[in-house]
Amino acid sequence: SSGINAEYGRMELLPHVLILGLLGFILIISWIPTSSLFSWHPTLMAVGFLGLQCESILLFHPRFSPVSSHALRVKLHQICQIAGFLLGLGGMVIIYTLKESAGKPHISTWHALFGLLTIILTLIQLIGGLPIIYSRIRAVIPVNKSLSELKRKHAQMGLVTIICALTAIGLAFYSNWFLKKEFHRIYQNVAFGAVTTIIGVIYAQVYHGRLAIEQ
C-alpha cells in the first residue's frame, strides 16, 4: 500500500487551504513592508499553533488526512505538536524579552492572556499524551482510566487548547500591531472569520469524527 488516503478529495483539502492561506497572510504582514525582532513573534506563534498544531489535529483524522496509515498519523501528530510547542515557546520568549527591555507590563491584554494559557495547556497536553502512546508509562504510573477514556480526555483537552490558541491569533487582528498597519477593516473581518471557521472545522472533527477514540 502507498499509505495515501484514497478518499482524500477537494472538500477534505479545503481546511488545509484555509489554514495555509491565513498563515501566509500573517507571515506577509509580519515582514512587509517593515520588519524587526518583533516580526518573529507572530511568525513563530502562527507557524507553531495555526500551522503545525492545527494541521496535526486535521492530519490525525482519517477524513482530513492524505495519509491512510494510523501509525503514521500518530507519529505526524506527535512531531507537529512538539515542534509547534517549541516554536510557540520561542515566540513567547521574544515578546517577553521585548516587553522587558521596553519596560512594558506583561500579560496586559486578552491576546497575551490567551497566548500564555495556550503555552501552558499545550505543555500539559504533551505530558498527558505520553501515557496514551507508551504503555510502559501506564504500567509505572497507575492511571485510573481506560485507554479509550484517556484518548477521549486528551482530545477534549486538545480542543480547549487549540481554541485558546486560535482565539489568541484572532485577537491579534485587533491588537496595536495589526491596527498600526492601517488595513481596511475587511481584512480584519475576513481574518477573524477564517479563524472562526477553522475552530468550527476542528470542533466538528473532534466530536463527530471521534478523534480521541479512533482505534
On the question of pLDDT at 27 being above 50, the answer is: yes
The DSSP-derived string for 27-60 is HHHHHSS---GGGHHHHHHIIIIIIIIHHHHHHH
CA torsion angle for 47, 167, 173, 43 (degrees, to 10)? -10
Q: What is the pTM of this model?
A: 0.85
φ and ψ at residue 196, rounded to 5 degrees: -60, -40
- Integer Cα distance of 173 and 18 in angstroms: 17
Q: Is 103 left (phi over 0), alpha (psi -120 to 50) or beta?
A: left
Report DSSP letters for 134-192, one per residue: -HHHHHHS--SS-HHHHHHHHHHHHHHHHHHHHHHHHHHTTSHHHHTTT--HHHHHHHH
> Cell numbers 463527530 correspond to what residue?
208
Across the chain, how many H-helices and E-strands are there? 9, 0
What was the pLDDT predicted at 190?
87
Of 106-110, 130-134, 142-146, 160-164, minimum mean pLDDT range: 142-146
Backbone angles phi, psi at 4, to 5 degrees: -95, 135
Which pLDDT value is given to residue 2?
Answer: 47
Max avg pLDDT among 67-76, 130-139, 162-171: 162-171
